[in-house]
Structure 1
Amino acid sequence: MPPRSTRPVDKFDDDDYPAYTMGRAAEMLGTTPAFLRALGEHRLITPLRSEGGHRRYSRYQLRIAARARELVDQGTPVEAACRIVVLEDQLEEAQRLNDRYRRAAAGPHPSTTE
């Protein structure tokens, strides 16, 4: 086996690799291609394009789309669902940053300095 530094990127573990066609993504989510296009129109997800111009989605994008679908299935309009998902994502990121800043401000934990 070649050294890890010379191996191609392992796309199986890459959440951002656009591995799924629109049809496959819609099938996995139990929705329609039109729903995925609507999410793109509302700028929730922006699929990459294949050389032939076809939309390709990553696992990360499918998780975002699945959350939007949950909200739509509960009666939330698509545009509002997209905004909610964006706000949830921003809140999660802000909480991660706050946790990191708190840990940094608290200094090293006594058990880690031994």
Structure 2
Amino acid sequence: MPAGTKPSTINHFDDDDYPAYTMGRAAEMIGATPGFLRAIGEARLITPLRSEGGHRRYSRYQLRIAARARELVDSGTPIDAACRIVILEDQLEDALRINEELRRLAAD
């Protein structure tokens, strides 16, 4: 471990769930407004963590989810429907991954 490096911060670069981005930076990265991020938070699509100062912080995983919701909204889908679609897509992806793992285990 490099000198001066804290063990708890070493893997943050690879951690998709680490809340690394401020609201302004997150909005910029996905081409949305901070208001959009607040709206999908209110719709409970994503729940940003809060810094010690109370500011919203977003992870890369949350930004991927938010970007997908933005794509749907940009194509005319109402925000509540877009959030539900993204949740269902995410659940389907998890189910397919689990199914594949179980098939692999059964084949072994």
How much has 1:7 moved relative to structure 2? 3.7
Question: In the alignment, which residue of structure 2 is the partner of 1:112?
Answer: none
SS at match of 1:11: coil
2:24 and 2:76 mapped to 1: Cα distance? 24
How much has 1:103 moved relative to structure 2? 1.2
Question: In the alignment, which residue of structure 2 is the partner of 1:111?
Answer: none
Question: In the alignment, which residue of structure 1 is the partner of 2:102?
Answer: 101
1:14-42 deviation line (CA, Å, top 9, x unaligned): 11111110011111111111100011001
Question: In the alignment, which residue of structure 1 is the partner of 2:84?
Answer: 83
Question: In the alignment, which residue of structure 2 is the partner of 1:17?
Answer: 18
What percentage of residue pairs aligned between the two structures are identical?
Answer: 78
How many equivalent pairs are there? 104
Question: In the alignment, which residue of structure 2 is the partner of 1:65?
Answer: 66
Larger-gyration structure (1/2): 1
Point out where structure 1 has 5 or more consecutive residues left out of the alignment: 108-114
Point out where structure 2 has 5 or more consecutive residues left out of the alignment: none
Q: Which runs of 4+ in 1 moved over 2 A?
A: 6-10
2:49 and 2:102 mapped to 1: Cα distance? 34
Task: Tell me the amino acid that sits aligned with residue 106 of structure 2.
Answer: A
Task: Tell me the amino acid that sits aligned with residue 13 of structure 1.
Answer: D
So what's the TM-score if we normalise by structure 1? 0.86
